[in-house]
Structures are given as structure tokens and as C-alpha cells.
Amino acid sequence: MNVMISDISQDLNTTVKGVQTTITLFLLIMAVLMIPCSKLTDRWGRKRCFTMGLTLYGIGALVSAIAPNLGVLILGNSVFEGVGTALLIPPVYILATLWFADVTSRAWAFGVISGLGGVGAAAGPLIGGVITTGISWRAAFVFQALVIATILLLSRRLVDPLPADPTRPFDAVGAILSAVGMFFVVFGILQAGSNNVLFAICLGIGAAFLASFFLFIRRRERAGKEPLLSTRLFRNRTCNLALVTQNVQWLMLLGTSFVVSVFLQTERGYSAIKTGVIFTAATVGILISSFAAERWARKYAQKTLIVTGFVLTIVGIGLLLGLVKASSSDWAFVPGLFLIGFGVGAMLTPSVNVVQSSFPEALQGEISGLSRSVSNLGSSFGTAIAGTIIVSVVAPGYRSYAWAMASLILFGLIGLGAALLLPSKLERAA
């Protein structure tokens, strides 16, 4: 979507803000549904949820391909693909956790997942850019549907090590309260600058719903009923700190991706394919560090990898600020994007590993859903906060770009602080 911003805006007669809203809603829907969908994996089975998610995503891709306006694009890309992703992501991490018992082997598994995600990230902008420039952005969504069909065929041999439990209770009220709360928080952020009254109202509503959610699940837990999310997940200090690092990692990655994409296409007039080529530097960095995850997990503490990743990512954003201002060359983006990709790739796997390894197998469904929800909420925040700054009319051109990148550095420092507080050795909850 990031490399298609200009093409979609022109074809659907919308604005960069409209495309930003579509991307943010996609990430937000993933975030708000990740926890409920992770609970459904126990009830429906991990393979079934994975297959259902792929199917919904494929339908969303086809709807997006024929979208006559922004509303239909939001339905296909944000709603169908968002719900589909929320269903298919938790099973991936839950199955990896169940199949690999120790920290080192899990680091290998999560490293492979992150590395193959890096392959997709590397190929996505390039393929999307080529298709968009050579044919149209609509054909890129058709290509997505074909990829989904291929994965569905390959997943027929997938074996779920645990049977589904149809009798497992599902906390629908908790799911609604958490979803509405997170929705209003992110929607409020999108209003910042354009409607500050609505911004404040939405944040207040979101905070109220999230507080109600926490009180509800605590009351339900005390009554001996299974809540959407066990409050014991929040009593593990190591896990809480690792969740903060996860949130900030994705905030910086998606925030940078959106800000640089908008700047390249709106300020420098780059095409979709040229934008995709420039982002190859970041995805190469992610690939290198992700595939080295297992080897690094054997040599270094998880905390060391996370701290190092934050430092490299912050330095990379700093380079994007300084070099882009000093030079109009395409190469000015390469060092910064590479460091960001390398830094994020280095810390993604250990952060996931710390979170997942903090709890026993009985809680893997819940913690996996919380972990992915926090990560996707970070993605939503990154696109919403940094994206709102870059598209603001208060500081056009490089100034808005600089303010957006500076905000990402600030969040990076928060993540670095949380990483420094992590213990050197992993804890496991009883």
C-alpha cells in the first residue's frame, strides 16, 4: 500500500490522508481482533483459524482490486484483510511455540518466520511497484489473491498438535470492550491537528472503554470464569517490558515506512517502482539480521540484542534526517533505511522470544494474541502518529518530514529505556 499511495489517490480521487486512513484501519482492525482471534484458536483449532484467515484475506484482496472508491477499498483492504490477518497470525506463533520447546530452538523458529517475513517485505514493495507502474495498483491486489491461493494449497498438510476444544468459553463482552477502546484511541490520534476537540473526545472514550475492559476481566476472573485475557499476563515484569519494546519496534518500522513513502512520492515525485527499490535497503537489513537470529541467540543475551537493535534503529532514523536534508540523491536514504531494517530485524525475534517464553504452554494462546495485538497496535500508532504529522498542513515539505522522524526517535528512546530495564536472563511464569 505504501508504494501505491500516489496511484491510489489519483485513481480513486482521494488524498494521502484517505490512503493513510485505509492503512491505519487495516493495522487497527488487526490489533483490536488479535486477542479475540487468538482465543478462538483454542476453540476452533489453530489450522482452521489459519485457513479461515487466509480465505478472508483473499476475498479482501479481490474486493480491493475492483474498488470504485475509497469506501470499498477500506472494506476490502482494511476490513476483510484486517480480520483475515488477525485470524491467521496467532496460529503461526502458537504453533511455533508448541513445536519448539527451548529458547534457542524457538529463536531459530521465530528467526525463520521473521526472515521469511523479510523476504516478503523485500519482494512486496518491488513486485507491487513493478505491477503498479507496469499495469495498475489493482493488479497488485490480484497478485495478493494468487499468493493467498498458493498458501491455502500448501497449508493442507499442516498438522495441529493440539485438538480443538469447542466447549472452550469465549468472553464476547471483553472482546467488544477492548476492541472499542483501542479503536477510539487510534481514531482519535488520526484526528490530531485537524479536529482537536474530536481528538480529545475519542481519546477519552477509548481510555474509558479500556479501563472498563480491565475491570470487567478482573471481575470475571474473580468469579471463576475465563476472561478474554488473564490479568496474570500483566504481572510478569519481564513480559511487560518486552511488550513495550515490541510495540515501539513496530511503531518505528511502520511509521518510518509510511513517512518515507509519502515524502518520496509527494515531495520528490517518485513512482511506485522507484519507491519500492529504495526500500530494498531496509528489507535487506531485516533479512540479514533475521536469519542470524538463531546464531546470535546462542552467543548473546536477548536483552543485549534488543538494546543493540534499538540503538541501530535510532541511529538509522537520525541518518534519514541528516542525509536527506544534506543531499537530494537517492543514495541518501540507503544507510538510514538499512540500519533501521537491520536494527529492527535484530530485535524482533528476541522480543517475541522473551514474551512467549515468559509463560507456560497453557497460556500460549493468550500471550500470543496479546503479543501480536501489541505489535499491531504499535504499527497503528506509527502510521497514525507519524503519518498525521507528515500529511499535516502546519509544516509542509521537509519540515513535516523532519517532525515526523523526530517523533519516531522519541518513541525509540522510550523503547530503548524499556529494553535497558530487561533482565539479562529470561523468567518463566509459574
CA 127 to chain centre: 20
pLDDT of residue 422: 87
Helices (H), 330-363: 334-356
- Cell 513480559 appears where? 239
Helix (H, G, I), strand (E, B) or coil at 167: coil
Phi/psi of residue 271, nearest 5 degrees: -80, 170
Instruction: Report which of 381, 359, 385, 382 is spatially closest to residue 370, judged by C-alpha positions.
Output: 359
CA distance 88 to 223: 31
**Which residue, among 141, 149, 190, 214, has the nearest Cα to 388 in the 3D structure?**
190
Cα distance between residue 26 and residue 80, in whole Å: 9
DSSP code at position 135: T
Report the candidate in 124, 126, 100 with the shortest Cα–Cα distance to residue 112: 100
Is residue 12 a contact partner of residue 73, using CB atoms and an 8 Å limit?
A: yes
Mark residue 269 as left, alpha or beta (left: phi above 0; alpha: psi -120 to 50; beta: remaining).
left
Give the model's pLDDT for residue 427: 46
> Of the CATH numbers 1.10.30.50, 2.40.240.10, 1.10.287.470, 1.20.1250.20, which one belongs to the domain with range 2-170+228-420?
1.20.1250.20
Distance between CA atoms of residues 175 and 170, nearest Å: 9
**Residues counted in the chain:** 430
Cα dihedral 250→308→406→341 (10° resolution): -50
> Which of 415, 373, 411 has its CA nearest to residue 389?
411
- Please check whether residue 128 is in contact with residue 272, taking contact to mean a CB–CB distance below 8 angstroms: yes
Question: What are the grid coordinates assigned to 254, written together?
Answer: 511502520
- Give the angle subtended at the CA of 393 by the CAs of 390 and 396, to the nearest 5°: 60
Helices (H), 135-279: 137-154, 172-191, 196-222, 237-262, 272-278
Which of 284, 359, 299, 320 shows the shortest CA–CA distance to 125?
A: 284
CA–CA distance, 124 with 146 (Å, rounded to integer): 13
Contacts of 36 (CB under 8 A, 6+ apart): 86, 170, 175, 178, 179, 228, 369
pLDDT at 394: 46
Is the dihedral angle over the CA atoms 108, 113, 116, 118 positive or is it negative?
negative
Amino acid 16: pLDDT: 80
* Best CA proximity match to 118, nearest among 298, 317, 277, 345: 345
Residues of the chain with pLDDT under 70: 101-104, 106-107, 111, 114-115, 117-119, 121-122, 190, 192-195, 293-294, 356, 359-369, 372-373, 376, 387, 390-397, 425-430
Whether the Cβ atoms of residue 75 and residue 334 lie closer than 8 Å to each other: no
Say if residues 276 and 333 touch (Cβ distance below 8 Å).
Answer: no
In this structure, what C-alpha cell is assigned to residue 377? Answer: 497496535
Q: What distance in Å separates the CA atoms of residue 424 and residue 408, rounded to the nearest whole number?
A: 26
Nearest to 190 by CA among 202, 205, 181: 202
- Rounded CA-CA distance 192/283 in Å is 31
Q: Between helices 398-420 and 364-390, what is the axis angle to 10°?
A: 150
